Amino acid sequence: MARPARHSDDIQIELFLDMLAAERGAGENTLGAYRRDLEDFSIYLAGKRGTVADASTDDVRSYLQSLSKRGFAAASVARRLSAIRQLYRFHYAEGQRGDDPAAVIEGPRRGRALPKVLGVNEVDRLLAAARAVVAAGRTPGERLRAARLNALLELVYATGLRVSELVSLPISAAERNARMLVVRGKGGKERLVPLNDAAKTAMAEYRALLADGGHDADGKPVKAKIATSKWLFPSFGDSGHLTRQHFARELKALAASASLRAEQVSPHVLRHAFASHLLHNGADLRIVQTLLGHADISTTQIYTHVLEERLKSLVRDLHPLGET
């Protein structure tokens, strides 16, 4: 009895996902997350002999309560509600429903976690450790692996790129006179990000070792690959470029040599450091939004605690009645 209903729900969900991919440029990871969330909602409704098409506001509210009983955190419940809201907003806009059962439901209250951020001194230690590993490399393969990690590290801290954007940079990013990176971010949207001298130098040193060494950082021949690869950080894997997981592992290993805990350091933490350090030194929030590729300023506002601390510091240091 439940199978036809589930089949109907599958069609409804796939139509919504097709819209996300076509109109909003949603990637595979985003689509997969939406699919899992909405399929779980559909399974819950089927257990109540209902479907996505005929679910009521009470059904949606009951589902959210069931998530809480299953031990879901408030953030996870809010994410599921967001997926359901967007699904029904789409159905309403397409005329598939005459109402929106999720429109009046309020999400769970949750505090927004502050991003993990490394201090300037900690980032300096990490960068110094990466450069030391390059200098200490005994074989061409060791030096190349170290130079690649150093280039990745300098780039992510200089630009604040998402790790997926970083590892998939094209070879053109390493052009000698390049002052800006053209980055294709979420939804296929492009943005310009300036390059500093340290990042350009690190990229040039890495590319020189890769071209001259004849082998990649894993010891495999690269002559043919260099001639044909379109990636700055090529790999023999399915993607053709270094994976984000590989970079994250190497970064955590480097953290130990910089006397930092592995859990403190990740590509995303360095992206946060880029944004926080810019704001702390006076950058405008809108500029940081543009550099990070955030579509909505509300996403960038997780860094307002940095601005608050900076304002307090300015008042303390500059106001005539500030602390002495």
The residues facing 181 across adjacent strands are: 193
294 is an active site residue: yes
223 is an active site residue: no
| Active-site pick, 246, 271, 272, 277 | 271
91 contact partners, CB below 8 Å, separation of at least 6? 12, 16, 53, 97, 100
268 is an active site residue: yes
| Active-site pick, 35, 79, 125, 186 | 186
| Active-site pick, 89, 294, 305, 310 | 294
| Active-site pick, 34, 63, 88, 303 | 303
Q: Considering only CA atoms, which of 167, 169, 135, 162 is closest in space to residue 250?
A: 167
| Active-site pick, 268, 280, 305, 310 | 268
| Active-site pick, 162, 244, 272, 277 | 162
Q: Which own/partner contact pairs does 249-256 have at CB distance under 8 Å and 24+ positions apart? A: 250/145, 250/149, 251/149, 251/152, 251/153, 254/126, 254/129, 254/130, 254/133, 254/149, 254/153, 255/126
Q: Which own/partner contact pairs does 109-117 have at CB distance under 8 Å and 24+ positions apart? A: 109/74, 110/74, 110/75, 110/78, 112/302, 114/302, 114/305, 115/269, 115/272, 115/276, 115/302, 115/303, 116/264, 116/266, 116/269, 116/272, 117/269, 117/272, 117/273, 117/276
277 is an active site residue: no
109 is an active site residue: no
280 is an active site residue: no
- The residues annotated as belonging to the active site are 162, 186, 268, 271, 294, 303
